[in-house]
Amino acid sequence: MAAEIQEKRVIPKEVANAQQEIWKFILGFTPTAVVKCAIELRIPDILENHETPMTLADLASEIGCNQSSLYRIMRFLIHYKIFQEKLVSETSVVGYALTPLSRLLTRHGENSMADLVLLESTPVMLAPWQKLSAWVLDNKQLPFDAAHGTDLWGFTAGNPEHSKIFDAGMACDARVGVAAVIEVCPEVFEGLKTMVDVGGGDGTALRLIVEACPWIHGINFDLPHVVAAAPATRGVEHVGGSMFDYVPKADATYFMKVLHDWTDEDCIEILKKCREAIPQDTGKVIIVDNVIGQKEDHEYVGLMIDMVMIAHTTNGKERTLKEWSYLFHEAGFTRYTIKRLQTYHSVMEVYP
Ligand SMILES: C[S@@+](CC[C@H](N)C(=O)[O-])C[C@H]1O[C@@H](n2cnc3c(N)ncnc32)[C@H](O)[C@@H]1O
């Protein structure tokens, strides 16, 4: 039966368009929730392991679920280009296949971002988002503390399961960041005999750097509960402690997505500790972090991460180059260079 569709416009086009846009905010969490669902069901892994596109019936049987609910999940994710429909070779049967996006959502792929999706969508990380407006109003209790009664680092120290999820999430972003640094500016690591990764998490970043630059002896420095759970790695020594007390001595200190967790005053204190830890004539601090307010390319990621800093950290923030430069100057450093990577990160080398 053919239906006749008549579009009767009773509200101005501009308002109708605005309403469509607002729906993105009303239900903006749905892509996150449904992608998380697909990862938990291991759909990217199942499709990766299947040589040809997979029919709904085969995929449902592999997962052990009902076809009609799976169909709706897949229809939604195809719309978001997470999966695609393709003909099963030389037949007219349509199956599901990976796209460049879902290739990043397998559980153990080299460039997988799945653990980061799983981390950010845990109830623990979502709860502080309910507390933003209260914090903006009085700037008293930080959103994470308001939700959990302690800051993120205190929470991970007391919750080993969440600490593991947090470290895994950080490690997947570290893999992408380190690969980009080694690809674009390997000279950053030339001539270094020792390097300490301050706030290095489970040591993933340092492991990859030492694998690519085997002349470096790596020191992975993080809070005691984090290094206690970190896997032993050749060429990397794990040291537990707090960067507010001291930074282990090395030719260079390396920070990846650490300083953005802290206030200007905290960063200046940490950077001063770094100046004491490195040789005054040949030492340097290497910072891999976001610099906002530059080219447009990754600005939306930077601005979203800036909101994450409010929700999850102790007054951390994303910084412009001018704000970074202020920290370096206040901590007593005299010059720095900056290189932008294809990812949202930049690499800054800062000298005494
Ligand atoms: C956002 S994560 C970044 C981890 C890692 N650099 C990466 O890029 O994946 C921040 C790290 O700082 C560590 N950290 C927090 N407070 C610290 C302190 N006082 N001293 C040393 N590390 C600390 C956390 O345990 C966590 O591993």
Residues above pLDDT 70, as percent of the chain = 97
User: Using a 6 Å cutoff on CB, does residue 115 contact ligand 1?
Assistant: no
Map residue 340 onto helix, strand or coil: strand
- Per-residue pLDDT tens over the stretch 249-283: 999 999 999 999 999 999 999 999 999 999 999 99
User: Using a 6 Å cutoff on CB, does residue 311 contact ligand 1?
Assistant: no
Is the pLDDT score of 162 beyond 70? yes
User: Both tokens of residue 236?
Assistant: 């990397």
User: Both tokens of residue 199?
Assistant: 């706030």
Are the CB atoms for 284 and 350 separated by under 8 Å? Answer: yes
For 103, counting Cβ atoms within 10 Å of its Cβ (0-12 exposed, 13-18 middle, 19+ buried), the class is middle
**Residues with catalytic function:** 260
Map residue 346 onto helix, strand or coil: strand
Q: What does the alpha-carbon distance between residue 229 and residue 202 come to, in Å, rounded to a whole number?
A: 7
User: Using a 6 Å cutoff on CB, does residue 174 contact ligand 1?
Assistant: yes
User: Using a 6 Å cutoff on CB, does residue 207 contact ligand 1?
Assistant: no
Dihedral, CA atoms, 149, 152, 155, 159, nearest 10 degrees?
A: 150
CA distances from 69 to 54, 64, 73, 75, 76 (A): 16, 12, 6, 10, 11
User: Using a 6 Å cutoff on CB, does residue 247 contact ligand 1?
Assistant: no
Map residue 69 onto helix, strand or coil: helix
Are the CB atoms for 106 and 39 separated by under 8 Å? Answer: no
Ligand 1: centre distance to CA 227 (Å): 10
Map residue 178 onto helix, strand or coil: helix
For the beta carbon of residue 244, count every other beta carbon within 10 angstroms: 11
Residue to substitute in 120, 153, 164, 206 for testing ligand 1 pocket (most ligand atoms within 8 angstroms of CB):
153
Ligand 1: centre distance to CA 242 (Å): 10
Residue 261 is classified by DSSP as G
User: Using a 6 Å cutoff on CB, does residue 38 contact ligand 1?
Assistant: no
Under 8 Å CB-to-CB from 347, ≥6 apart: which residues? 181, 184, 185, 188, 286, 287, 288, 338, 339, 341
User: Among candidates 308, 310, 196, which has minimal Cα distance to 246?
Assistant: 196
Q: What does the alpha-carbon distance between residue 213 and residue 222 come to, in Å, rounded to a whole number?
A: 21
User: Using a 6 Å cutoff on CB, does residue 289 contact ligand 1?
Assistant: no
Are the CB atoms for 146 and 128 separated by under 8 Å? Answer: yes
- Per-residue pLDDT tens over the stretch 100-137: 999 999 998 888 999 999 999 999 999 999 999 999 99
User: Using a 6 Å cutoff on CB, does residue 230 contact ligand 1?
Assistant: no
- Per-residue pLDDT tens over the stretch 295-320: 666 678 889 999 999 999 999 999 99
State the DSSP H helix or E strand holding residue 220, giving kind and residue range, or none if neither.
Answer: strand 217-222
- In this structure, which residue's CA is closest to atom 4 in ligand 1? 201
Ligand 1: centre distance to CA 52 (Å): 42
Q: H-type helices in 127-250, by residue range?
A: 132-138, 143-148, 152-158, 160-184, 204-212, 224-228
ipTM, 2 dp: 0.98
Q: What does the alpha-carbon distance between residue 298 and residue 293 come to, in Å, rounded to a whole number?
A: 10
- Per-residue pLDDT tens over the stretch 196-245: 999 999 999 999 999 999 999 999 999 999 999 999 989 999 999 999 99
Ligand 1: centre distance to CA 154 (Å): 12
Quick one: pLDDT at residue 254?
A: 97
Ligand 1: centre distance to CA 1 (Å): 62
Ligand 1: centre distance to CA 257 (Å): 8
On whether the pTM is more than 0.95, the answer is no
Q: What does the alpha-carbon distance between residue 316 and residue 259 come to, in Å, rounded to a whole number?
A: 8
Residue to substitute in 222, 255, 286 for testing ligand 1 pocket (most ligand atoms within 8 angstroms of CB):
222
